[in-house]
Amino acid sequence: MSTQATEEFAPIGPDADVHGANLHARDVSAWFGRRKVLDRVSLDMNAGTVTALIGPSGCGKSTFLRILNRMHELVPSAALAGEVRLDGEDIYEPGRRITETRRRVGMVFQKPNPFPAMSIADNVTAGLKLTGTRVSRSGRDELIEACLTRAGLWKEVRDRLRQPGGALSGGQQQRLCIARSLAVEPDVLLMDEPCSALDPTSTRRIEETIAELRTQVTVVIVTHNMQQAARVSQRCAFFLAEDGAPGHIVEAGPTDVIFNEPTDPRTADYVHGRFG
């Protein structure tokens, strides 16, 4: 029985105003010390598209995601080969500012991480100080409303913006983290299993937010939930690490093809739940 890539979210029309950046990885390999964890990974992640990274635990999906905004190099033993280009520019080019890359390529983590004692409003604007962005008081209020609206949270919190972000539910905290990432106007939003700790209702709201955001930012999401990958993404990349070998991409392509007509039998086995 095939797993259908459900068309729950409306496709982008040909005349839609699509923002975001094109992100291209070429022959990316990664190490932690002497242990090679990724081997020659190449993948195109284009504007107007949600790209899902799927595969069993330990195959390098999260490592690859962190390479895309230079978080991999925070690990002292980490090493990297290959290229990551953001609209044609190599993000690892010597002299390129790390803070600028991380502003343009935002990250939402598996566990919601708002600043718990900071107000909801201040959580949204926390990244502005790190990037040196200045806004007027009126501009700040407009930015907070706009980002919370884009994250699907404004209607739920507009009357309690001064309350602590830590008082929100888990799903609301995750959407607050999305709003915080959007405040610095990234071109790409990376999401590392953003729904793994959430209930089905909160998961659905996050998925709706992702669907609405894909005309505004390029989205790359790591997920172990095959139904979620089918619902929210337009392209999929299947990662695998076998018998102690480093992770690599078995195949990548349109989501409906990966789920219904994959070229590699290992992909079919994984998406249909026969291993992993």
* Pair of tokens at residue 103: 């502003």
Position 8 scores a pLDDT of 55
Half-sphere exposure of 33 (CA within 13 A, CB side): 1
* Pair of tokens at residue 121: 């409003």
Per-residue model confidence as pLDDT tens for the chain (276 residues): 344 444 455 555 545 667 789 999 999 999 999 999 999 999 999 999 999 999 999 999 999 999 999 999 888 999 999 999 999 999 999 988 888 898 899 999 999 999 988 999 999 999 887 766 778 888 899 999 999 999 999 999 999 999 999 999 999 999 999 999 999 999 999 999 999 989 999 999 999 999 999 999 999 999 999 999 999 999 999 999 998 899 999 999 999 999 999 999 999 999 998 876
Say yes or no: domain 23-112+188-271 is CATH 3.40.50.300: yes
What would the pLDDT profile of 32-82 be if each residue is shown by its tens digit?
999 999 999 999 999 999 999 999 999 999 999 999 999 998 889 999 999
Instruction: Write down the domain spans for the chain.
Output: 23-112+188-271
Find out whether 157 and 120 touch, Cβ atoms under 8 Å: yes
In the beta sheet, which residues pair with residue 108? 191
Taking the C-alpha atoms of residue 165 and residue 177, their distance in angstroms, rounded to an integer, is 10
The whole-model pTM stands at: 0.90
Percent of the chain with pLDDT over 90: 75
Taking the C-alpha atoms of residue 225 and residue 228, their distance in angstroms, rounded to an integer, is 5
Strands 218-222 and 78-86, sheet pairing: unpaired
In the beta sheet, which residues pair with residue 222? 53, 192
Buried b (16+ CB within 10 A) or exposed e, 233-271: bbbbbbbbbeeeebbbbbebeebbbbbeebeeebbbebb
Taking the C-alpha atoms of residue 67 and residue 74, their distance in angstroms, rounded to an integer, is 10
Among 90, 83, 32, 100, which residue's Cα sits nearest to residue 62?
A: 32
Half-sphere exposure of 251 (CA within 13 A, CB side): 18
